């Protein structure tokens, strides 16, 4: 295959309808060489008005391997073809060229400034025509950043790409996990928060056909790690829970890891572990119960001696799982939860007594420090007198000590109404969806046919079993 394959002449390509993805018709004209073809491509890209047709052309103008080489090459004379194009107008063309340049081994790397400019200024409408090229580009950017050891560059470029590319940040894209993995691997947690704070609620495989289930798992897992690193436990818990509760026929390793971290985060956040979501895969629950993490729950937070022993015993496992940091944090939080429990039982206690109750006997100063920091953070509602007596106020800190204001009530109501409207819209959507209607009609038909049916089960007037079998 020395001969480069024929490319359709320019004229034909412009008139080519996007409908049939038919192979390019064989041409008599002698094949132009790669750089020539690139020149021609550039000309086409600049002259094209219909992005859809252009996309089709770019996708099909040559067989795969050759195409990438062509796209990744430079103009004759070494000029960079990218400079000839306008970022906003020729988004699609640049997307193809750029992604190829980043992936073809022999191609010259594009200047980082250009990538940055592109990520900030591209036209999302055009880019959405070729989502798989965007993914390719993102992977290329990750690679580039790794080679140049410039994670901030990668994170910045991907974030720009991520903000503009999907219709809104509520959509999950294949870029999400790439971005989060970069952020977490390079401890750029703060950079991740603007993206993380927009919860994923939409999955659209027509917009992003190359979405894979691992994208969801990895994004939320890494997101959870980022939040845990920022000590925003509540969000971290939610992210890990999403991973653990993700639909699964068989549990994935990511889910198991997330489950372990979920337990630790819950212990830190609430002082106890909450049951896993009911829809969690049963095998996953079993696996998780077998881990040493599960045994920590039993001792937390009061039996600190046993806790220490358990941690010591399983230290290797924790270190292997890279969870030692969280485990240590969890141990540090144990006295706090123990003290918190005391507030429900006692009105006043002296510091040595508290130390005894939370098994930190003789470390009065440490106990006092913990109590002071707990008061500061509002975890307990208490005051410390000069002679070392702690007075817990009557209402536990979890309940509001004051009446709610009108505006707070209003905003809560508004939130609830908003939720209700989302659910209502969803119900309508399902109600008119094809699958639902087909099923509904079938159930109805069977009901109708039931009296005449000779089926034994139907004679008892229970739900016709036949319909259920069909549904399954």
Window 348-367: residues binding other proteins (CB under 8 A): 348-350, 353
Backbone angles phi, psi at 391, to 5 degrees: -110, 120
Task: Give the integer Cα–Cα distance in Å for 165 and 124.
Answer: 5
Binders in 198-237 for other proteins, by CB under 8 A: 199-205, 211-218, 221-222, 225, 228-229
- Alpha-carbon separation of residue 410 from 114, 180, 399, 416, 423 (angstroms): 49, 36, 19, 10, 20
Binders in 171-190 for other proteins, by CB under 8 A: 181, 184-187
Binding to other proteins by residue 407, rule CB under 8 A?
A: no
92: its two tokens: 């699609």
Binding to other proteins by residue 313, rule CB under 8 A?
A: no
395: its two tokens: 């209402």
Identify the residue among 246, 334, 367, 371 touching other proteins (CB under 8 A). 246
Closer of 150 and 463 to other proteins (Cβ): 150
- The residues pairing with 384 across neighbouring beta strands, listed in sequence order, are 390
Closer of 1 and 282 to other proteins (Cβ): 282
Binding to other proteins by residue 419, rule CB under 8 A?
A: yes
Identify the residue among 27, 88, 132, 415 touching other proteins (CB under 8 A). 415
Closer of 45 and 217 to other proteins (Cβ): 217
Window contacting other proteins (CB under 8 A); options: 69-77, 120-128, 347-355, 457-465: 347-355
Identify the residue among 7, 252, 266, 397 touching other proteins (CB under 8 A). 252
Closer of 100 and 276 to other proteins (Cβ): 276
Closer of 212 and 377 to other proteins (Cβ): 212
Task: Give the integer Cα–Cα distance in Å for 281 and 255.
Answer: 10
Binders in 61-100 for other proteins, by CB under 8 A: none
Identify the residue among 399, 462, 469, 472 touching other proteins (CB under 8 A). 399
Cα 74 versus chain centre, distance: 36
Burial class (CB in 10 A: 0-12, 13-18, 19+), 11: exposed
Binding to other proteins by residue 241, rule CB under 8 A?
A: yes
Identify the residue among 167, 194, 325, 431 touching other proteins (CB under 8 A). 325
Binding to other proteins by residue 279, rule CB under 8 A?
A: yes
> How large is the C-alpha radius of gyration of the chain?
30
Count CA within 13 A, CB hemisphere, residue 382.
29
Burial class (CB in 10 A: 0-12, 13-18, 19+), 267: buried
Task: Give the integer Cα–Cα distance in Å for 120 and 103.
Answer: 21
Return the H-helix or E-strand segment holding 144: helix 131-148
Window contacting other proteins (CB under 8 A); options: 28-36, 90-98, 375-383, 417-425: 417-425
308: its two tokens: 């220490």
């Amino acid at each position: 295959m020395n001969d480069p394959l024929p490319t359709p002449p320019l004229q034909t390509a412009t008139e080519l309808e996007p409908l049939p993805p038919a192979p390019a018709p064989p041409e008599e004209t002698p094949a132009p060489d790669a750089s020539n073809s690139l020149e021609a491509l550039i000309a086409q890209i600049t002259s094209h008005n219909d992005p859809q047709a252009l996309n089709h052309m770019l996708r099909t103008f040559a067989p795969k391997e050759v195409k990438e080489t062509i796209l990744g090459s430079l103009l004759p004379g070494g000029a960079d073809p990218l400079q000839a194009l306008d970022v906003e107008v020729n988004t699609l063309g640049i997307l193809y060229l750029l992604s190829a340049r980043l992936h073809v081994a022999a191609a010259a790397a594009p200047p980082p400034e250009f990538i940055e400019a592109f990520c900030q200024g591209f036209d999302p409408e055009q880019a959405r025509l070729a989502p798989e090229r965007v993914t390719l580009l993102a992977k290329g950017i990750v690679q580039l950043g790794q080679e140049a050891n410039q994670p901030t560059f990668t994170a910045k470029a991907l974030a720009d790409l991520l903000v503009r590319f999907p219709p809104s940040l509520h959509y999950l894209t294949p870029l999400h996990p790439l971005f989060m993995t970069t952020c977490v691997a390079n401890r750029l947690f703060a950079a991740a928060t603007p993206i993380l704070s927009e919860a994923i609620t939409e999955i659209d495989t027509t917009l992003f056909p190359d979405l894979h289930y691992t994208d969801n798992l990895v994004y939320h897992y890494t997101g959870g790690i980022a939040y845990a690193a920022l000590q925003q436990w509540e969000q971290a818990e939610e992210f890990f829970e999403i991973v653990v509760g993700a639909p699964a026929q068989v549990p994935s390793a990511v889910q198991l890891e997330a489950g372990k971290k979920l337990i630790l985060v819950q212990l830190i956040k609430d002082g106890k572990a909450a049951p896993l979501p009911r829809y969690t895969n049963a095998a996953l629950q079993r696996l998780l119960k077998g881990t040493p993490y599960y045994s920590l729950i039993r001792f937390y937070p009061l039996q600190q001696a046993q806790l220490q022993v358990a941690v010591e015993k399983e230290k290797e496992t924790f270190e292997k799982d890279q969870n030692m940091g969280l485990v240590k944090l969890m141990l540090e939080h144990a006295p706090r939860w123990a003290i918190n429990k005391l507030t429900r039982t006692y009105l006043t206690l002296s510091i040595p007594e508290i130390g005894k109750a939370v098994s930190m006997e003789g470390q009065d100063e440490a106990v006092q420090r913990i109590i002071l920091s707990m008061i500061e953070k509002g975890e307990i509602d208490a005051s410390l007198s000069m002679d070392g007596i702690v007075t817990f106020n009557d209402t536990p800190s979890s309940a509001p000590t004051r009446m709610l204001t009108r505006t707070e009530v209003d905003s809560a109501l508004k939130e609830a109404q908003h939720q209700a409207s989302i659910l209502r819209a969803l119900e309508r959507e399902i109600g008119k969806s094809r699958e639902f209607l087909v099923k509904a009609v079938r159930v109805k038909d069977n009901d109708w046919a039931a009296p005449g049916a000779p089926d034994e089960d139907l004679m008892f007037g229970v739900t016709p079993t036949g319909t259920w079998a069909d549904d399954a």
